[in-house]
Amino acid sequence: MTGSSHRREPWPELPYAAWRDTCETLQLWTQIVGKVRLVRTPWLNHSWHVALYVTARGLTTSPIPDGARTFQIDFDFLDHVLVIATSDGAQRRLPLKPQSVAAFYAAVMAALADLGIEVTIDDMPNEIADPTRFGDDRQHASYDADAAQRFWRVLASADRVFRQFRTAFLGKCSPVHFFWGSFDLAVTRFSGRRAPLHPGGVPNLPDDVAQEAYSHEVSSAGFWPGGGAIDYPAFYSYAYPAPDGFASARVKPDAAFFSKDLGEFLLPYDAVRSAPSPDDALLQFLQTTYEAAADGAKWDRAALECAQGKPGRPRRVS
pLDDT tens-place string over residues 103-145:
999 999 999 999 999 999 999 999 999 999 999 999 999 999 9
pLDDT at 318: 76
Q: Are residues 158 and 243 in the same domain?
A: yes
Domain assignment of residue 300, yes or no: yes
Q: 41 with 105, same domain?
A: yes
Q: Identify whether residues 133 and 263 lie together within a single domain.
A: no
- Quick: pLDDT tens for 243-255: 999 999 999 999 9
Residue 215 lies in a domain: yes
**Do 153 and 126 have their domain in common?**
no
In this prediction, residue 2 has a pLDDT band, given cuts at 50, 70 and 90, of: very low
Which of 124, 143, 162 is at the close of a domain? 143
Half-sphere exposure of 243 (CA within 13 A, CB side): 18
Q: Specify the pLDDT at position 229.
A: 83
Boundary (domain end) residue, out of 126, 143, 160: 143
Residues 81, 123 within the same domain: yes
Residue range 290-304: mean pLDDT, rounded: 98
Considering the domain architecture, whether residues 37 and 104 belong to the same structural domain is answered as yes
Percent of the chain with pLDDT over 70: 98
Please report whether residue 316 resides in a domain. no
Judgement on whether residues 150 and 109 belong to the same structural domain of the protein:
no
The reply to whether 8 falls in a domain is no
- Looking at the structure, tell me whether residues 175 and 228 fall in a common domain: yes
Q: What mean pLDDT is predicted for residues 203-215?
A: 96
Domain extent at residue 81: 16-143
Domain assignment present for residue 202? The answer is yes
Mean pLDDT of 283-312: 97
pTM for the predicted model, two decimal places: 0.96
Q: Is residue 206 part of a domain?
A: yes
The last residue of a domain, from among 84, 115, 143:
143
Model confidence band, residue 8 (pLDDT cutoffs 50, 70, 90): confident
177 and 111 fall within a common domain: no
pLDDT of res. 7: 61
pLDDT at 10: 96
Proportion of the chain above pLDDT 90, given as a percent: 95
Mean pLDDT, the chain, whole residue set = 96
Instruction: Say yes or no: 161 and 294 in one domain.
Output: yes
* pLDDT value of residue 316: 87
pLDDT tens-digit map of 50-67? 999 999 999 999 999 999
Whether 52 and 61 have beta carbons less than 8 Å apart is answered as yes
pLDDT tens per residue across span 266-282: 999 999 999 999 999 99
Residues 26 and 114 in one domain: yes
In this predicted structure, the answer to whether residue 4 has a pLDDT above a threshold of 60 is no
Same-domain pairing of 230 and 258: yes
Q: Based on the structure, what is the number of domains in the chain?
A: 2
Domain-embedded: residue 3: no
Mean pLDDT of the region 295-318: 95
Please check whether residue 309 lies inside any domain of the structure: no
